[in-house]
Amino acid sequence: MQVEIISIGNELVQGAVNTDAAFIAEALYSIGLTVDRIVNVPDKPKQLENQLSESFKKSNIVITTGGLGPTFDDITRATVSKVLGRKLVFSREIMESIARHFVDRNIEMPKENECQAYLLEGAKPIPNKVGTAPGMLLEHSGKLVAIILPGPPHEMEPMFKNTVIPFLRERYEREFIKQSVIQTAGILESALAAKIDDVVHRRRPRGEAEVDFGLLARPGIVTVRVAVHSKNELLAEETLRRVRKELYNLLDKDIFGEGAYTLEETAGSLLIQKKKTVGVAESCTGGLVASRLTNVPGSSLYFKQGIVAYSDEAKIKMLGVSEALLKKSGAVSMEVAREMAEGCKRIAAVDFALGITGIAGPGGGSPKKPVGLVYIAIATPKETYVEEKRFVGQRGQIKEQTANCAIDMLRRTLLSL
Amino acid sequence: MQVEIISIGNELVQGAVNTDAAFIAEALYSIGLTVDRIVNVPDKPKQLENQLSESFKKSNIVITTGGLGPTFDDITRATVSKVLGRKLVFSREIMESIARHFVDRNIEMPKENECQAYLLEGAKPIPNKVGTAPGMLLEHSGKLVAIILPGPPHEMEPMFKNTVIPFLRERYEREFIKQSVIQTAGILESALAAKIDDVVHRRRPRGEAEVDFGLLARPGIVTVRVAVHSKNELLAEETLRRVRKELYNLLDKDIFGEGAYTLEETAGSLLIQKKKTVGVAESCTGGLVASRLTNVPGSSLYFKQGIVAYSDEAKIKMLGVSEALLKKSGAVSMEVAREMAEGCKRIAAVDFALGITGIAGPGGGSPKKPVGLVYIAIATPKETYVEEKRFVGQRGQIKEQTANCAIDMLRRTLLSL
């Protein structure tokens, strides 16, 4: 079984990062299909033709992304048609769904989009609920499955998940890979590696399936990936269950969730479960914490209010921070973080409030208060806690670490209730 | 001239994003070498051998990344040696520099690292100042240049910049590539393609250099990439200048910047230039617009305050939206967006304020007010404008499109001052 991904786009050979292929490779891996090769080629008909000829000959599953748009540089449809010797056939049904896309938006359909209503002869369309280009799924000559997808990730990803994965899962019965992706916050990668060293390097007892571990660090968050392989599904599940249990015992509250679960989802479900509400007063994160918390569907149940108090005046007027304190301690101080959190809790009439102040840089630092110095306060029904943090990195990374740390403080506080 | 990048690593076909290839492609492009193909293969000797055989035959420059580490799964050295029929030769000099690396860190050198002191016969080492694995630069059979690099980006990137780029620049006198990446907002990809169709398809006059166009669409933003190739640098520059001018005439205010410039940077520099301040009142975007505006270093000069008024109470209390209006028109309405913007302008004492209310989904929609319905108001010193939008997609995409659209409204309003 040979599996290939071909990503098409000039930008991909000129410096853009290919996230589509990474997404697809990960999704295939999770159903036991390993990708043998990922190829990026530019929007050049001759090059794409050569690549497709070679790959269609060699591989059993070929997945392409990109080049299905309505414009001059979108060459995938025509090139696949040529290489496989299958005509492009107009589909009235798809034309109607494209037209509806524009009607829904109250926009006249540009003539350019018509070309997207053509399908390879014999291909099943893969519905695209976000954009206008449908994908195509084609079983060719008994041996090859060609899957043609658009490039924009927000279009491609749901199409892949909802249509392609179920199709492949049914068609190919593979070795079982059971995996857990355990998400942690508030612990460094090296400290985490030391904590779980025993589990990773200990010889697994006979009769257990093969186990792979992987760590991935992002600012403020470390992911532990455990993958168990076996032809015996029950054995794989049982081994994974045992390893997970060992990791949970060791990491305990450092774990905030599994899979694609986010810190804000965990905090959100704790708030719902404990029937509590939250508000946020932000300076250096500039609204990022509120935006993250409200990324969660249904967050209006517990998120009441956010205040981005960037200027001193805003801190005074909106949050009731004392002018004298701002003068004495400065806007970036433990005391101001505390007053921001307490002010927000009072004004928004919530159970918990975060107060965040710091220096995201690149300007504004000093030897005593360097870029990356951040104070995060959490006001609870009983008392207020403040933490001092020193983060490093660019402005965006400091904002991200601060947001992760603040949401994690909220999570840990809720856990300890 | 055929240029290929081969990136080696299991992780690259299991879901990790290949940033090495993107970095190399961009650096090559900047010196006039276009990459024809990027291939990711796993750490499997047979597969790597096949890929290298094929690529060494086809291409003039082959750059590999990865597989030079000291452990069992690092197979690049041995496989290249086999495919090219060149022995691996021990280098005392490199052994010493590896040993020094460990001495400097006060760590005993593991025996595993010895293998990194072997070079392909005839290869020049590429010094690695960060890690232990040197790279290799090999001119083979007069036609092929093979460049072998380690995978960790912080090792590979300086090696590529400091050694590989100067070498390639000297060896290949190439045509010059001059390019512009023009960023637009507030126009659909297909509408943009229609607008510039003439420029793209018109025969360039004799004596102009060759021009390539590419379009890339993200939610709310479309990028036009123009690349001009010529052996004559001045001609390339002159042609680019002319094409840029034509595009600027056609796209005019749709263009918000070039290169990596963001919408919020453009809006920010207009605010600074016109000495104006801004505030934001957000409901469905939940702080995203404030966070985006404050991603810009120095934004504290013009961004005064953000209010995330998620609940009706917050809209009433914090922004002075009338309770009667909320009852009559509903929180997602033109009138409430208007009152949010005007309330924010008054309370934050700013020149411009955005008011944003909508249904980000997945819940909360109705036939009359579906998910994706958004109202964006901008209060200016003179009057308030409100726009109704209907976006589609997941919650995150609706938030992103809304944020791009709101920041673009601010930008266009500032432009028209």
- Report pLDDT for A174: 65
Q: B75-79, B332-336, B360-364 — which is least confidently predicted?
A: B360-364
Residue B226: phi and psi, rounded to 5, are -115, 125
Let me know: does A71 contact B223? Beta carbons within 8 Å. Answer: no
Per the structure block, which two tokens stand in for B119? 């070079």
- Report pLDDT for A394: 82
Best mutation target among B308, B347, B371 (most A Cβ atoms within 10 Å) is: B308
3-class state of residue B134 by DSSP: coil
- Report pLDDT for B127: 93
CA distance to partner chain A, nearest, from residue B91 (Å): 33
- Report pLDDT for A227: 86
Going by pLDDT thresholds of 50, 70 and 90, the confidence category of residue A238 is very high
Let me know: does A402 contact A355? Beta carbons within 8 Å. Answer: no
For A100-116, the DSSP string reads HHHHHTT-PPPGGGGGG
Let me know: does B117 contact B90? Beta carbons within 8 Å. Answer: yes
3-class state of residue B118 by DSSP: strand
Q: A142-151, A208-217, A263-272 — which is least confidently predicted?
A: A208-217
- Report pLDDT for B7: 97
Going by pLDDT thresholds of 50, 70 and 90, the confidence category of residue B39 is very high
Q: A150-154, B13-17, B109-113, B379-383 — which is least confidently predicted?
A: B109-113
- pTM (2 d.p.): 0.78
Which among A11, A101, A130 has CB closest to B214?
A11
> Which residues of chain A lie closer than 8 angstroms to B298, CB-CB?
363
With a cut of 80, say whether residue A217 has pLDDT above it: no
Going by pLDDT thresholds of 50, 70 and 90, the confidence category of residue B61 is very high
Report the C-alpha gap between A299 and B152 in whole angstroms.
39
Query: Across residues B375-386, what is the average pLDDT?
Result: 97
Going by pLDDT thresholds of 50, 70 and 90, the confidence category of residue B217 is confident
Question: Would you call B26 and A36 a contact, using CB atoms and an 8 Å cutoff?
Answer: no
Going by pLDDT thresholds of 50, 70 and 90, the confidence category of residue B249 is very high
Query: CA-nearest residue of chain A to B372?
Result: A105
Cα–Cα distances in angstroms (integers) from residue A314 to residues A320, B134, B305, B307, in the given order: 9, 54, 6, 11
- The percentage of chain A sitting over the pLDDT mark of 90, rounded to a whole number, equals 71
Query: Across residues A304-320, what is the average pLDDT?
Result: 94
- The percentage of chain A sitting over the pLDDT mark of 70, rounded to a whole number, equals 100
- Report pLDDT for B29: 84
With a cut of 70, say whether residue B68 has pLDDT above it: yes
- Report pLDDT for B175: 74
Helix axis angle for A233-251 and A189-201, nearest 10°, is 140
At B352-377, the pLDDT tens digits run 999 999 999 898 899 999 999 999 99
- Report pLDDT for B34: 87
Residue A113: exposed, middle, or buried by beta-carbon count in 10 A (0-12, 13-18, 19+)? buried
Residue B272: phi and psi, rounded to 5, are -65, -45
Q: Where do the domains of chain A lie, and which CATH numbers do they carry?
A: 3-171 (3.40.980.10), 176-258 (3.30.70.2860), 264-415 (3.90.950.20)
With a cut of 70, say whether residue A173 has pLDDT above it: no
Average pLDDT, chain B: 92
- Report pLDDT for A34: 85
Which among A154, A287, A297 has CB closest to B306?
A287
With a cut of 80, say whether residue A151 has pLDDT above it: yes
Angle at B240 between CA B237 and CA B242, to 5 degrees: 110
Phi-psi region of A188 (alpha: psi -120 to 50; beta: other; left: phi over 0): beta
Query: Across residues A178-186, what is the average pLDDT?
Result: 92
Report the C-alpha gap between B127 and B123 in whole angstroms.
12
- Report pLDDT for B173: 67
Query: CA-nearest residue of chain B to A132?
Result: B190
With a cut of 80, say whether residue A15 has pLDDT above it: yes
CA distance to partner chain A, nearest, from residue B92 (Å): 33
Sort strands A384-390 and B135-140 into parallel, antiparallel or unpaired. Answer: unpaired
The secondary structure of residue B109, as a DSSP letter, is P
Best mutation target among B50, B190, B299, B316 (most A Cβ atoms within 10 Å) is: B190
With a cut of 80, say whether residue B57 has pLDDT above it: yes
Best mutation target among B218, B310, B312, B344 (most A Cβ atoms within 10 Å) is: B310
With a cut of 80, say whether residue B207 has pLDDT above it: no
Going by pLDDT thresholds of 50, 70 and 90, the confidence category of residue B260 is confident
Report the C-alpha gap between B108 and B71 in whole angstroms.
16
3-class state of residue B107 by DSSP: coil
- Pairs of CB atoms within 8 A across A/B: 264
Query: Across residues A103-120, what is the average pLDDT?
Result: 88
At A45-62, the pLDDT tens digits run 999 999 999 999 999 999
Let me know: does A343 contact A281? Beta carbons within 8 Å. Answer: yes
Cα–Cα distances in angstroms (integers) from residue B233 to residues A277, B25, B168, B175, B208, in the given order: 62, 21, 18, 8, 12
Report the C-alpha gap between A68 and A123 in whole angstroms.
15
Q: A22-31, A119-128, B171-180 — which is least confidently predicted?
A: B171-180
Q: A104-108, A264-268, B268-272, B294-298 — which is least confidently predicted?
A: A104-108
- Report pLDDT for B174: 67
Which among B15, B19, B294 has CB closest to A287?
B294
Report the C-alpha gap between B237 and A147 in whole angstroms.
41
